[in-house]
Structure 1
Amino acid sequence: MPSPARVLCFGEALVDRLGPPGGDPAHDIPVDDRLGGAPANVACALARLGTGAALIGRLGDDRIGAAFRALLLERGVDTRALQCDPLRPSRTVLVRRDAAGERHFGGFAGDRGEGFADQAIDAAAMAGVLAPLLAQARWLLCGTIPLASAAAAAALQELLLAAGAHGLPLALDVNWRPTFWGLGAEQGPPPAVRQRLEPLLTQAALFKCSREEALWLFGSANATVVRRALPQRPAVLITDGPEPIDWAVGACGGRLPSLPVAAIDTTGAGDAFLAGLLHQLVGRPGLLQEPVVVSAVEQVLRFAAACGALVCQGAGAIDPQPSEQQVLAVLGESAAGTGAL
């Protein structure tokens, strides 16, 4: 029997179509289709680590939807709030990869003129299954992509209200993807979009973003500066690929080195990092509260960083996700000075 869902993951489940290194997945072969989407990645990674998770979203009644349901069943992810869209297809995202494994998101494939299933989450249908999920959950996780679509944004707002009524804290991974907003690649949020993001940014108890996102949104990649810029003063984590993690929790902060790996594909590394962090926080609910114990925060961040590093050693976001035992083994090797990953 699946574990009770301690983390509710809201948003997109989709296929990442990985092009050949240096190629374009729109027309170059071979391509590698991998199940993904940040909330789905986090839910699967949490289940792999041993923390129950639920995915709240919407998939098409198609091959991708069926593959996801089979995967989620295998991992033990709660799918009571995962909807099936009879009209709209599941989304396929075109992902370019450079020689170092870094990914760059392009356009989409599969649209038949009605948009994609993840854009059409039904708030009323979602509300009908929320009560037992909220009663058991400890965290709600989402990103900003649902805000790009009216129906998904409305469903997220309903979920935030319900979560707030249950005292459920929000973990926000900015996960800024301009292509989902119809904007050019490698572009930060314009003022009109920033205004739409603002209410979500100011509700997070745990705020994660990349260095680039921090610079776009706050003009600084210093976690303490970002924390002070948000009225609720959340815990802030800023990742930068293989570079150190910048963090601020309460009055404390610092920079923690990441674990070096020979990356094959960095897709999903940030999601695995966040899953590792939430996995630890579910078992240590007071960690982010004052008085902050720096050594304990750093221990949790090292665990999360190892989760992200291990995912980079395989293709796709979900298949390489580690178990807790694998993460602890790697951390043991690192502590022993072997440097082996």
Structure 2
Amino acid sequence: MPTLESPGTVTVIGECVADAFTDPTRSGADELALRVLPGGGPANTAVALARLGTPTRFRARISQDAFGALFRSRLTDSGVDLTGSVTTSEPSTLAIATLDDTGQATYSFYADNAADWQWTYGELAAGVYDDTVCLHTGSLALIRDPGGSRVEDHLAQVRERVTVSVDPNVRPLLVSPTAYRERIPRWCALADILRLSEDDLAVLLPGTGPEEACDTWHAAGARLVVITLGERGALASLDGRRITVPAPPVDVADTVGAGDSFTAGLLHRLAALGHLGGRLDGLNLTDLTDACTFAARVAALTCSVPGANPPRAGEAALEADTGLVLNPWS
């Protein structure tokens, strides 16, 4: 087993989203009942990282409304440090989620003028990164302005001190695909790690296969590109050297938060192996395979329960099938 190190902090910047699911058991002919769960890609990743045992700080703009209270409760109960987050009167983002027969979710968003996209340069500059080895961001907080471009500029300012991880988490219903295609080269130039899904790939580079896409994004600057492929596992490319890992078999409740949990598992394991904090110069394919295998298991366990509810350190189902120790520092 590889030698594990005590990890530094992973800081996540991004949005919280109230994920509302229809509840047929409480709905009727003249009313629609909704069950609201706390979500948002970056928030899900922060929760999963903290539950796995990585010291995690989440920087978000969290509303004072009822959804904001729900977000804070989930984050703090999972062990996430909210230092650097901003409390604001602007409303939370709401997403109405619809699940198909396979548990795959599609969303309708209510996000105009929401708290998540209003970052100022002053708010971002107030962050402390002395203990941070990796800064992860992405999703809507990196693309919706006015805050998105400011978060992007912030990455450029801090990347000399930390490993930068980006998950585009493409939402074409809210943001034009053209906007993503224009911004992705800039994100690759800033990022050491680019993690995205096969669905994201189809929007960003239509008609392009995963391996060709990896080469395109390497040329733009990203050293490590990881593309999750659903039930087919994941492809990872480190400076053009590829590995693939399978997806563990699982009875799927839904796929909400699966990609976010994969990202958390990947960053958790890379931190444990001592690869975060710089430009991934010491990362090899053996450790990359280890990290992606672990990440796939975290994602599978998230799919086995409803909503974005990632596993916690010490859960037997996670450790038994991988032989990996989740949190050896506790």
Q: TM-score range by the shorter chain?
A: 0.7 to 0.9
Q: Are 2:170 and 1:176 aligned?
A: yes
1:301/1:197 Cα in 2 relative to 1: closer, same or farther (>3 Å)?
A: closer
**Alpha-carbon offset, residue 291 of structure 1:** 6.6
Counterpart CA distance in 1 for 2:280 and 2:61 is 34
Task: Kindly provide the amino acid, as one letter, of the partner of residue 209 in structure 2.
Answer: A
Q: TM-score, normalised to structure 2's length?
A: 0.85
Task: Kindly provide the amino acid, as one letter, of the partner of residue 175 in structure 1.
Answer: N
Deviations 1:31-59 (A, max 9, x none): 22110101110111111000011111112
1:105/1:313 Cα in 2 relative to 1: closer, same or farther (>3 Å)?
A: same
**Alpha-carbon offset, residue 323 of structure 1:** 1.8
**3-state DSSP of counterpart to 1:324:** coil
Asked if 2 retains the 8 angstrom alpha-carbon contact of 1:148 and 1:180, the reply is no
Alignment of 1:153-168 (within 5 A): 153-166=148-161, 168=162
Counterpart CA distance in 1 for 2:98 and 2:300 is 20
Of 73, 77, 80 in structure 2, the residue corresponding to residue 77 of structure 1 is 80
Q: Which residue of 2 aligns with 1:303?
A: 294
Of 309, 312, 323 in structure 1, the residue corresponding to residue 303 of structure 2 is 312
Q: Which residue of 2 aligns with 1:338?
A: none
RMSD: 2.6
Q: Are 2:217 and 1:226 aligned?
A: no
Task: Kindly provide the amino acid, as one letter, of the partner of residue 37 in structure 1.
Answer: G
Task: Kindly provide the amino acid, as one letter, of the partner of residue 38 in structure 2.
Answer: L
Deviations 1:153-202 (A, max 9, x none): 24303421331242x12111110012222x5xxxxx12x54223431233
Q: Which residue of 2 aligns with 1:140?
A: 135
Deviations 1:59-113 (A, max 9, x none): 2111111122222222221112111112x211111111011110011232xx6xx
Structure 2: give runs of 5+ residues left out of the alignment. 1-5, 324-330
1:223/1:289 Cα in 2 relative to 1: closer, same or farther (>3 Å)?
A: farther
Counterpart CA distance in 1 for 2:32 and 2:60 is 31
Of 93, 102, 105 in structure 1, the residue corresponding to residue 104 of structure 2 is 102
Q: Are 2:40 and 1:37 aligned?
A: yes
1:220/1:78 Cα in 2 relative to 1: closer, same or farther (>3 Å)?
A: same
Which shows bigger deviation, 44-53 or 240-249? 240-249
Which shows bigger deviation, 280-289 or 55-64? 280-289
Task: Kindly provide the amino acid, as one letter, of the partner of residue 226 in structure 1.
Answer: C
Q: Which residue of 1 aligns with 2:3?
A: none
**Alpha-carbon offset, residue 251 of structure 1:** 4.5
Which shows bigger deviation, 151-160 or 273-282? 151-160
Q: Which residue of 2 aligns with 1:250?
A: 239
**3-state DSSP of counterpart to 1:202:** helix
1:82/1:299 Cα in 2 relative to 1: closer, same or farther (>3 Å)?
A: same
Counterpart CA distance in 2 for 1:239 and 1:154 is 26
How many residues get paired?
Answer: 310
**Alpha-carbon offset, residue 8 of structure 1:** 1.1
Counterpart CA distance in 2 for 1:284 and 1:84 is 35
Of 171, 181, 187 in structure 2, the residue corresponding to residue 200 of structure 1 is 187
Which shows bigger deviation, 146-155 or 297-306? 146-155
1:257/1:10 Cα in 2 relative to 1: closer, same or farther (>3 Å)?
A: same
Counterpart CA distance in 2 for 1:144 and 1:97 is 20
1:152/1:294 Cα in 2 relative to 1: closer, same or farther (>3 Å)?
A: same
Identity %: 27
Task: Kindly provide the amino acid, as one letter, of the partner of residue 171 in structure 2.
Answer: R
1:5/1:72 Cα in 2 relative to 1: closer, same or farther (>3 Å)?
A: farther
Structure 1: give runs of 5+ residues left out of the alignment. 184-188, 336-341
Task: Kindly provide the amino acid, as one letter, of the partner of residue 147 in structure 2.
Answer: A
**Alpha-carbon offset, residue 265 of structure 1:** 1.3
Asked if 2 retains the 8 angstrom alpha-carbon contact of 1:146 and 1:152, the reply is yes
Asked if 1 retains the 8 angstrom alpha-carbon contact of 2:57 and 2:80, the reply is yes
**Alpha-carbon offset, residue 315 of structure 1:** 1.4
Counterpart CA distance in 2 for 1:106 and 1:209 is 21
